[in-house]
A and B are shown apart, each in its own frame.
Chain A
Amino acid sequence: MNIFFKVIIFSLLTMGIYTLFATNYIPPMNSAPVPAEETIDLAQMTIQQFIALGDKIFHGKGTCTLCHNPVVKRAPLLDGVAGRIGERLKDTRYKGGAKDLAGYIEESMRKPSAYVVAGYGVTGSNDTVSPMPVISEGAIGLNDVEIKAVIAYLQNLGGAEVTVEIPKGPPMAEGKDSAQAATLPAKTGAEIVKKFGCGLCHKIAGEQGAIGPDLTKIGAKKNADYLRRAVFDPNADIAPGFPPGMMPQDFKDKMTAGELQVIVDYLAKSK
Chain B
Amino acid sequence: MVSCLMKKRTAGKAVFLFVLSVMFFPAFLNTGFSASFSPAAAYAGTDAVSPVAHEETYTHPPAPKLKAQDYPIVMGINSRVFVWMAAQLHLWFAAFVLAVPIFVFIIEAVGMATKDERYDKMAYEFIKVSLTAYSVTALIGGLLAFSLFVFYPDLMRYMTRLFGQTMLLYALLFFAESATLYIYYYGWHAMERGFSKWAHLTIGLLLNAVGTTLMFLANAWVTFMMSPSGVDAGGVFDGNIWHVIHNHLWNPINLHRFVANIAFGGSIVGAYAAYRFLSARSDSDRAHYDWMGYTANLIAISALLPLPFAGYWLTAEIYAYSQQMGITLMGGAFAWLFITQAVIIGALFLSANYYLWCGMERSPGAYRYTKYIKYIAAVIVVCFLVWFTPHTLILKPWELKALGGQYHPFLGPLGIMPAKNTAVNIMLIFTFLSFLLYRRANKIAVVSWAPLGRAAQAAVFAGAILNIVFLGVYYGYFTNTVYKVASSVPQVASTLTVIAACMVIDFFMFKGAKDVGELRWGGIPQRSQYALFLLAVSFTWLMGLMGFIRSSIRQHWHVYSVMRDASVNAYTLTIASAAKTVSAAAIIFMAMVIFIFWLSALSSKKQDKPLPLGSDAKNPKEGGGIR
The interface residues of chain A lying within 8 Å CB-to-CB of B45 are 223
Interface: B463 (CB within 8 A) = no
Chain B residue at minimum C-beta to C-beta distance from A69: B331
The interface residues of chain B lying within 8 Å CB-to-CB of A12 are 587
Interface: A242 (CB within 8 A) = no
Chain A residue at minimum C-beta to C-beta distance from B390: A26
The interface residues of chain B lying within 8 Å CB-to-CB of A10 are 530, 533-534
Distance of A10 Cα from B594 Cα, bound (Å): 14
> Which of B87-95, B208-216, B249-257, B478-486 is the contact stretch?
B478-486
Q: Would you list which residues of chain A between 10 and 33 have a CB under 8 Å from chain B? A: 10-12, 14-16, 18-19, 21-23, 26-33
Interface: B333 (CB within 8 A) = yes
B27: min CB distance to chain A, Å: 13
Q: Are B233 and A139 in contact (CB under 8 A)?
A: no
Interface: A253 (CB within 8 A) = yes
A59: min CB distance to chain B, Å: 13
Chain A residue at minimum C-beta to C-beta distance from B554: A139
Interface: B285 (CB within 8 A) = no
> Which of A97-105, A130-138, A195-203 is the contact stretch?
A130-138
The interface residues of chain B lying within 8 Å CB-to-CB of A256 are 66-67, 69-70
Interface: B576 (CB within 8 A) = yes
Distance of A31 Cα from B530 Cα, bound (Å): 36
| B64, B154, B279: most-surrounded residue (chain A CB, <10 A) | B64
Q: Are B32 and A7 in contact (CB under 8 A)?
A: no
Chain A residue at minimum C-beta to C-beta distance from B555: A32
Contact of B583 among A18, A31, A33, A138 (CB under 8 A): A18
Q: Are B583 and A225 in contact (CB under 8 A)?
A: no
A180: min CB distance to chain B, Å: 8
The interface residues of chain A lying within 8 Å CB-to-CB of B625 are none
Q: Are A14 and B65 in contact (CB under 8 A)?
A: no
Q: Are B322 and A18 in contact (CB under 8 A)?
A: no
Q: Are B334 and A29 in contact (CB under 8 A)?
A: yes
> Which of A40-48, A153-161, A207-215, A226-234 is the contact stretch?
A226-234
Q: Are B339 and A26 in contact (CB under 8 A)?
A: yes
Distance of A67 Cα from B279 Cα, bound (Å): 56
Beyond A31-B572, A31-B573, is A15–B537 a contact (Cβ under 8 Å)?
yes
A144: min CB distance to chain B, Å: 16
Beyond A18-B343, A72-B331, A132-B323, is A232–B56 a contact (Cβ under 8 Å)?
no
Interface: B604 (CB within 8 A) = no
Contact of A139 among B64, B333, B560, B572 (CB under 8 A): B560
Q: Are B323 and A133 in contact (CB under 8 A)?
A: yes
The interface residues of chain A lying within 8 Å CB-to-CB of B551 are none
Q: Are B571 and A228 in contact (CB under 8 A)?
A: no
Interface: A222 (CB within 8 A) = yes
The interface residues of chain B lying within 8 Å CB-to-CB of A29 are 333-334, 336-337, 572, 574-575
Interface: B1 (CB within 8 A) = no
Interface: A181 (CB within 8 A) = yes
Beyond A19-B579, A71-B392, A229-B59, is A27–B574 a contact (Cβ under 8 Å)?
no
Q: Are B59 and A3 in contact (CB under 8 A)?
A: no
Interface: A179 (CB within 8 A) = no
Distance of A222 Cα from B48 Cα, bound (Å): 10
Interface: A35 (CB within 8 A) = yes
Q: Would you list which residues of chain B between 332 and 353 have a CB under 8 Å from chain A? A: 332-334, 336-337, 339-340, 343-344
Distance of A1 Cα from B56 Cα, bound (Å): 76
The interface residues of chain B lying within 8 Å CB-to-CB of A225 are 32, 35, 42, 46, 58-59, 61
The interface residues of chain A lying within 8 Å CB-to-CB of B533 are 7, 10-11, 14
Distance of A216 Cα from B31 Cα, bound (Å): 20
Chain B residue at minimum C-beta to C-beta distance from A265: B32
Interface: B50 (CB within 8 A) = yes
Distance of A32 Cα from B332 Cα, bound (Å): 11
Q: Are B49 and A18 in contact (CB under 8 A)?
A: no
Chain A residue at minimum C-beta to C-beta distance from B577: A31
Beyond A7-B533, A32-B333, A185-B69, is A223–B324 a contact (Cβ under 8 Å)?
no
A233: min CB distance to chain B, Å: 9
The interface residues of chain B lying within 8 Å CB-to-CB of A223 are 32, 35, 45-46, 49-50, 53
Chain B residue at minimum C-beta to C-beta distance from A11: B537
Contact of B324 among A16, A140, A228 (CB under 8 A): A140
Q: Would you list which residues of chain B between 469 and 492 have a CB under 8 Å from chain A? A: 480-482, 485-486
Distance of A223 Cα from B392 Cα, bound (Å): 58
Interface string of B28-48 (1 = CB under 8 A from A): 000111010000001001100
Contact of A14 among B279, B538, B576 (CB under 8 A): B538
The interface residues of chain B lying within 8 Å CB-to-CB of A88 are none
The interface residues of chain B lying within 8 Å CB-to-CB of A30 are 574
Chain B residue at minimum C-beta to C-beta distance from A183: B69
Chain B residue at minimum C-beta to C-beta distance from A36: B556
A131: min CB distance to chain B, Å: 5
The interface residues of chain A lying within 8 Å CB-to-CB of B575 are 22-23, 26, 28-29
Contact of B67 among A11, A21, A185, A265 (CB under 8 A): A185
Contact of A15 among B323, B325, B570, B583 (CB under 8 A): B583
Interface string of A84-109 (1 = CB under 8 A from B): 00000000000000000000000000
Beyond A34-B570, A119-B481, is A138–B233 a contact (Cβ under 8 Å)?
yes
Distance of A138 Cα from B561 Cα, bound (Å): 4
Distance of A16 Cα from B538 Cα, bound (Å): 11
Chain B residue at minimum C-beta to C-beta distance from A141: B561
| A14, A132, A181, A225: most-surrounded residue (chain B CB, <10 A) | A225
The interface residues of chain A lying within 8 Å CB-to-CB of B334 are 29
Interface: A246 (CB within 8 A) = no
Distance of A257 Cα from B583 Cα, bound (Å): 35
Contact of A32 among B565, B571, B580 (CB under 8 A): B571
Contact of B579 among A14, A18, A264 (CB under 8 A): A18
Q: Would you list which residues of chain B between 520 and 572 have a CB under 8 Å from chain A? A: 530, 533-534, 537-538, 541, 545, 555-557, 560-561, 565, 570-572
Instruction: Please list the 8 inter-chain residue pairs (A to B) with the smallest Cβ-Cβ separation, ordered nearest first.
Output: A224-B32, A257-B64, A22-B579, A32-B572, A138-B561, A27-B394, A23-B576, A139-B561
Given contacts A18-B344, A131-B323, A229-B59, 20 further A-B contacts (CB under 8 A): A21-B340, A22-B545, A23-B576, A26-B340, A28-B574, A29-B572, A74-B323, A74-B331, A132-B323, A137-B561, A139-B560, A225-B32, A226-B50, A226-B56, A228-B32, A228-B61, A257-B65, A258-B69, A264-B33, A265-B32
What are 30 A-to-B residue pairs whose CB atoms are below 8 Å?
A: A10-B530, A14-B533, A15-B583, A15-B587, A16-B583, A19-B579, A22-B545, A22-B575, A26-B575, A28-B576, A29-B572, A34-B565, A63-B324, A66-B331, A72-B331, A74-B481, A119-B480, A123-B482, A137-B561, A138-B233, A139-B324, A222-B49, A223-B32, A225-B35, A225-B46, A226-B56, A227-B32, A228-B61, A252-B62, A258-B69
Q: Which A residues form the contact surface with B (CB < 8 A)?
A: 3-4, 6-8, 10-12, 14-16, 18-19, 21-23, 26-35, 63, 66-67, 71-72, 74, 119, 123, 131-133, 137-141, 177, 181, 184-185, 220-229, 232, 237, 252-253, 256-258, 260-261, 264-265, 268
